[in-house]
Structure 1
Amino acid sequence: MLNMGKFLIISGIILLLLGLIIQFSGKIPFLGRLPGDIRIEGKNYQFYFPLASSILISILISLVLLLINKARQ
């Protein structure tokens, strides 16, 4: 039962961090405008694929999960 409590706490912290990232992502100046982000604009369409931003967020989430895993052991 103790493991379930730790799981719920860690899941809540992760959800809180993700919510903060989503809430304030427009206010982070470099996020979404990195050199590896793909933006194609035409007359009637616009295509945007944040490749570099996605990789950066993935690395940050991986580091957070690694730290949480190290703290559990």
Structure 2
Amino acid sequence: MLRWLIVVFLALLFISWIKPWLLRLGLGRLPGDFRFRWRGREWDIPLTSTLLLSFVLSLVVRGL
């Protein structure tokens, strides 16, 4: 259980670190990516970007 928490924490840290770079590429602004403001905070739900990155990553892993 602790190992999974560490992996999730590191994944979130990595994603927050590369988020500005991904936004410059246009990810997070695709049709199907939702952004809304609620209670003074900006919320992102990047459905399409997540599917696209997952597809690309699976192609890369299968190619190795």
User: Larger Rg: 1 or 2?
Assistant: 1
The one of 34, 38, 56 equivalent to 1:38 is: 34
Residue 5 of structure 2 is matched in structure 1 by none
Deviation track 1:15-43 (CA, whole Å, cap 9, x = no partner) reads xxx8xxx3732321x21100110111245
Identify unmatched segments of 5+ residues in structure 2: 1-13
The 3-state SS of whatever aligns with 1:65 is: helix
Greater mean alpha carbon deviation, residues 52-61 or residues 42-51:
42-51
The one of 45, 48, 56 equivalent to 1:49 is: 45
State the Cα RMSD in Å.
2.2
In terms of fraction of residues, the more strand-rich structure is 2
Q: Does the 8 A contact of 2:23 with 2:29 survive in 1?
A: no
Which segments of structure 1 move beyond 4 Å, counting only runs of 4 or more?
none
The one of 33, 38, 54 equivalent to 1:58 is: 54
**1-side partners of 2:62 and 2:54: how far apart?**
12
Overall identity of the aligned pairs, in %: 36
The number of equivalent residue pairs is 47
**1-side partners of 2:34 and 2:23: how far apart?**
17
